[in-house]
Structure 1
Amino acid sequence: MPRRILDRLNTRLERWLPEQRLFLKSDSATRFVRLRPLTQASVLAIGAGLFAWATVATSMLFIEGISSGGAAQNEKIAKAAFERRLDTLSKERDTRAAEALAAQDRFQTAMTQVSKMQSALLSSEERKRELETGIGVIQSTLRRTMDERDDARTKLAKVEGVGTNGGATQAARAQDMAKTVDFLSAALGQTAQERDSANADAKAAQIAVDRIAMQKRLMEERNDEIFTTLEGAVKISMAPLDKVFKQAGMDPNHVLAEIKKGYSGTGGPLNTISLSSKGTADLGGDTARAEDILRKLDDMNMYRIAVDKLPFAMPVKAHFRFSSPFGRRWGKMHEGVDMAAPTGTPIYAPADGVVIAAEWERGYGNLIKIRHEFGITTRYGHLSKIRVKRGQKVSQGERIADMGSTGHSTGPHLHYEIRISGKAINPMTFIKAGKNVF
């Protein structure tokens, strides 16, 4: 039965693939190999399959290379944009701080002028009271003097024989009264003029105070708008950084606290500060908001330092493909990821650290171990060349080795591990989180 089926297939394929014979001639004999239609069809099918597989594999490698190059370019663009945003925020913060200081200086100058005007007004009121008191004293003295003068004239009239109600006495009284009235009128006129001048100064001072208060209110509204914009920008910029560390399984507050321990130096002379009536430093609402923004910008700077100290960057920047993931493989645990690329492809440090091993190790071949902050270590295996030494400090982005196929390896690739406190974790956790930064 199978023979009949094969014969039928050969008969049907005979139309397109006629039987071929391959003659092999030697000195003594001539032989031939018969290529039946079914055999030819099988060979063609196998060849077509191999061609299709080679085409698909080449296309996948080409597409993956293009996407890898595009991702690297996008990482560089995102990092540059992040740097430019931080620089812009820093410049705007400095500008707003300068404007706030200038406004505060103008306000202090205006308040000083108002204080001088109020002092002048108080001095005018005090002088007015002194003049009123002086006029009262003058009036009392004049009345007493007039009484003494009248007594003296009465006595003089009696001595001279002139009556106390004589015309001379009345005329003298009238003349003295006119002089007194003229003196008092002049004094009162001068006092009224000084009072009017003091009232005019007071009104001008009140107008100036109202104008300064209006300018201060407008400045406060403008500052509130500026601070609101800055607070929003800082909040938006902080969110991706918080997300980076949370995706990597790390507490952002713990990261900041640890980084600040190494960047907390202070110094310089200490000068006195102005205190309010409550005995505390005079910090307004805007000043408190500015201090809060400065603290958040400082946290952003600490985040940037932490990013350089933690392995968020890629150790391979050239075109490559992930040839093996983290996890169980062939019944054993594969504690890293494999990145395949040609021999000699540069390997870079993904974060600042110290080389703790640069040697041959069984299974890994040429191996480099780097210790980073927070108990994190990274491993780089199967290297063709090691470019660092044990104890050497390396920076993020520094070339440390070349890709190879040493140790237990089927081809050139990088075996990349990340360990926290000695326990291996999936490096893709940090690689994916780092896409929000690089």
Structure 2
Amino acid sequence: MRSRIAQRIHAALERKLPERRLFIRSETETRFIRLKPETQLLAWIGAAGLVSWSIIATAILLMDSIGAGNFRAQALRDQMIYEERLNAMSMERDLRASEATAAQERFAITLRQVSVMQTELLQAETEVRELKDGIEVIQATLRDMRRSRDDARDEVGVLEARLDMPDGAGASGAASDEMTGTVDLLASALAETAAERDMIAADAEFALDHAAEMELELRLLQDKNDQIFRQLEDAFVVSVEPIERMFREAGMDPDDLIAQVRRGYSGTGGPLTPMTFSTRGGGPDPDAARANGIIDRLDRINLYRIAAERAPFDVPVKASFRYTSGFGMRWGRMHNGTDFAAPVGTPIYSTADGVVTHAGWSSGYGRLIKIQHEFGIETRYAHLNRIRVNVGERVSRGERIGDMGNSGRSTGPHLHYEVRIGGRPVNPMIYIRAGQDVF
């Protein structure tokens, strides 16, 4: 059965591929090679496979080159878009910084106005108190003079009654002259008392009018002071809310931060002393309470500023760069930081105030800098080309600490930037994005 099938296949192949002979002739003899139909079929199949493989491989190479070109073009477009966005964010940051500077200048001017208003209020209150005391003295003097006048009138009446008595005619001339002199003296005293009374009454009326004017001026000053207080309170609300939101977005409790910073800056004294307004022994003055509230908020803003300088809200690379790898799983392993790609030698800056705890080579990190900040935060700057700080050195936010490089386990020039809290790595972009909304 098999031989019949083989014969039929052989016969079909002979019709399509008849047997051929390949002659090889030399000087002495001639030889030939028989090419059976089966051999020719295998040769055709091998040649067809080789040509197909060449076509497919060429097509794959062409597709890869086209795809690589598209990828590079897309990467260039993404880089241009990112650089434009970075420039826009830099301009917006500069604008916000200029607005913050202008707001601080306006606040300083307003604070000076508040101090002037406080001085004027204290002077006005002193003048009003002196006027009230003077009025009370004048009123007491008037009451005493009225009593003296009434007593003098009574005494004059008594003397006149004695002069009119019948036995007064038999009195001696000396006594009569003495009585007449006494009456004249009392009459002149009454006249002087009346004139002085009229003068005191005029002075009292003038003092009352002046006191009314001073009270009106005091009310106007209080209204102006209240307007200034409202403006200051609104300005503080606008200034404090973005900063508090920045800390909350970074996962930090603003109240805890303020408490920690206040413990580190617990010295007393300085310009932020409570304001006091005299209330003449009365209850608490609302202006003093509002002024002290503004001072407390100013102190809170100052503490926020200190905390922001000690937390890594800044970007470690100021020049043009490109994000090449983010925080998270990468190739089956955890990537504990964010990579910034730029040319070798690009300046690297500290993202917050702190102390350098490591500055040297560290296995896969290459040249590595570690900086310990407040609140248990540590930042790491790896794969550097050059280190510009030493261990134990205190650095400030925005200070240049090294140059970008390709040291350690790295595939190209870039900065590997990490943020760790209590030794646990966190996403650095949380702090960078939070800081971009404020700084």
Shorter-chain-normalised TM-score: which range?
0.7 to 0.9
Partner of 2:388: 387
Measure the CA separation in 1 of the matches of 2:330 and 2:71: 24
Measure the CA separation in 2 of the matches of 1:424 and 1:38: 47
Measure the CA separation in 2 of the matches of 1:209 and 1:357: 72
Tell which deviates more after alignment, 114-123 or 361-370.
114-123
- Please say if residues 124 and 194 of structure 1, whose CA atoms lie closer than 8 Å, have aligned partners that are also in contact: no
- Please say if residues 118 and 202 of structure 1, whose CA atoms lie closer than 8 Å, have aligned partners that are also in contact: no
Alignment-mate amino acid for residue 151 of structure 1: D
Q: Specify whether residues 75 and 97 from structure 1 end up closer, same or farther in structure 2 by C-alpha distance, changes over 3 A only.
A: same
Partner of 1:230: 232
- Please say if residues 72 and 317 of structure 1, whose CA atoms lie closer than 8 Å, have aligned partners that are also in contact: no
- Please say if residues 355 and 390 of structure 1, whose CA atoms lie closer than 8 Å, have aligned partners that are also in contact: yes
Q: How many matched pairs?
A: 382
Deviations 1:260-309 (A, max 9, x none): 222232359x9xx997664x8x8521122111111111111111111111
Structure 2: state its 5+ residue gaps. 1-50
Residue 133 of structure 1 and its aligned partner are, at CA, apart by 1.3
- Please say if residues 327 and 335 of structure 2, whose CA atoms lie closer than 8 Å, have aligned partners that are also in contact: yes
1:97 aligns with 2:105: no
Tell which deviates more after alignment, 51-60 or 305-314.
51-60
Measure the CA separation in 1 of the matches of 2:216 and 2:348: 63
Residue 40 of structure 1 and its aligned partner are, at CA, apart by 8.9
Partner of 1:342: 343
Measure the CA separation in 2 of the matches of 1:425 and 1:82: 30
Partner of 1:261: 263
3-state SS in 1 of match to 2:364: coil
| C-alpha RMSD of matched pairs (Å) | 3.4
Partner of 1:78: 96
Q: Specify whether residues 102 and 79 from structure 1 end up closer, same or farther in structure 2 by C-alpha distance, changes over 3 A only.
A: same
Query: Which of 143, 161, 167 is equivalent to 1:151?
Result: 167
Measure the CA separation in 2 of the matches of 1:133 and 1:347: 98
Residue 134 of structure 1 and its aligned partner are, at CA, apart by 2.7
1:197 aligns with 2:202: no
Measure the CA separation in 2 of the matches of 1:210 and 1:415: 73
Partner of 1:246: 248
Measure the CA separation in 1 of the matches of 2:336 and 2:394: 25
- Please say if residues 347 and 402 of structure 2, whose CA atoms lie closer than 8 Å, have aligned partners that are also in contact: yes
Measure the CA separation in 2 of the matches of 1:346 and 1:410: 19
Partner of 1:368: 369
1:54 aligns with 2:72: yes
Structure 1: state its 5+ residue gaps. 1-32, 157-172
Residue 214 of structure 1 and its aligned partner are, at CA, apart by 1.2
Partner of 1:217: 219
Q: Specify whether residues 215 and 345 from structure 1 end up closer, same or farther in structure 2 by C-alpha distance, changes over 3 A only.
A: same
- Please say if residues 312 and 430 of structure 1, whose CA atoms lie closer than 8 Å, have aligned partners that are also in contact: yes
Residue 80 of structure 1 and its aligned partner are, at CA, apart by 3.0
Partner of 2:417: 416
Q: Specify whether residues 89 and 201 from structure 1 end up closer, same or farther in structure 2 by C-alpha distance, changes over 3 A only.
A: same
1:299 aligns with 2:317: no
Measure the CA separation in 1 of the matches of 2:232 and 2:413: 50
Map 1:285-364; keep pairs closer than 5 Å: 285-364=286-365
Deviations 1:200-230 (A, max 9, x none): 3332222222211111111111111111111
Q: Specify whether residues 38 and 332 from structure 1 end up closer, same or farther in structure 2 by C-alpha distance, changes over 3 A only.
A: closer
Measure the CA separation in 1 of the matches of 2:333 and 2:67: 33
Looking at both structures, which has the greater relative contact order when contacts are Cα pairs under 8 Å and sequence separation is at least 6? 1
3-state SS in 2 of match to 1:369: strand
Map 1:13-28; keep pairs closer than 5 Å: none
Residue 191 of structure 1 and its aligned partner are, at CA, apart by 4.4
Measure the CA separation in 2 of the matches of 1:274 and 1:290: 10
